[in-house]
Copies of this chain bind each other. A is one copy, B any other.
Amino acid sequence: MATTQPDPEDLTARARIRDAALLQFGEHGFERATIREIAKAAGVSSGLVRHHFGSKQELREACDEFMYRTVRKLSDQARAGLVHGAFGDLNHLAAARAVLLPYQNYLARALADGTAAALFDQMVDITEEWLARADEKRAGAPPAASRKARATVLTAMAMAVPVLHQHVSRSIGADMFTPEGDREVAYALIDLYSHALITPDDAATARDALDTVWSKQPPADRDAVIRAFEEQNDD
């Protein structure tokens, strides 16, 4: 059986610890994961973890930075081989996904609890570049929000599927890390990205409505809020 990853035996102890931490943090979360268990998984003593990383928090930061470097390397690779197909090179995308797959859980948790800021910002930058090219071909009215804001929200949306992968898998009835589930999710994503969900008219209406809500606080909201609260105090 061929290993797609370098033999863990070939890595330095420090790298093995980081790798084990990535996996343990990803599986159990930062708090529940223990230094002793990470050490055991890496085949070292718990003291060595402290020796190399100082503290659990610093170990986490090392993990974050490793992921940041990994994603950066991946995106540089993709950028270098760009101007290929319709939207980036699908081979690079597939490669990136394959590389990140074992760390998916860590990535999801890190993003969700607010660490890995540099990593997110980096993804926003990538998205913003992509959006700049998309805007050139864009027809109709100019965007109502800044490119940065749109890139940010779009990045968050793109991360939603990995971050909420447990729910996504359960809801579609297939593990999204198997080919079947993956296909279903990818097709759904392509469909959603290639169709506008609301019409430009609806969009204008929504913007107007929001402007009204923001300018004067409509009393209807308050009533609904209070009613909702009163009704739910039934325990």
CB of A82 within 8 A of chain B? no
Decide if the interface of chain A is mainly helix, strand, loop or mixed: helix
Contact B229 A188 (CB under 8 A): no
Which residues of chain B come closer than 8 Å to A163, judged between CB atoms?
112, 156, 160, 163-164
CB of A168 within 8 A of chain B? yes
Nearest-CB distance from A151 to chain B (Å)? 8
Which residues of chain B come closer than 8 Å to A195, judged between CB atoms?
138, 140, 196
CB of A209 within 8 A of chain B? yes
Nearest-CB distance from A174 to chain B (Å)? 9
Could you give, for residues 184-203 of chain A, a 1 whenever the CB lies within 8 Å of some chain B CB and a 0 otherwise?
Answer: 11111111111111111111
CB of A48 within 8 A of chain B? no
Which residues of chain B come closer than 8 Å to A166, judged between CB atoms?
114, 117
Contact A188 B225 (CB under 8 A): no
Known: A99-B225, A108-B112. 19 other contacts (CB 8 A): A29-B113, A90-B206, A91-B218, A95-B224, A112-B112, A114-B166, A144-B187, A144-B190, A145-B187, A145-B188, A148-B171, A149-B185, A153-B168, A154-B188, A157-B192, A187-B210, A190-B203, A194-B197, A194-B200
26 contacts between A and B (CB under 8 A): A15-B235, A86-B205, A86-B206, A91-B218, A91-B221, A94-B213, A95-B225, A95-B228, A99-B225, A99-B229, A114-B166, A117-B167, A117-B170, A120-B164, A146-B172, A146-B188, A148-B172, A149-B184, A152-B167, A153-B168, A153-B189, A155-B171, A179-B214, A193-B196, A194-B198, A196-B196
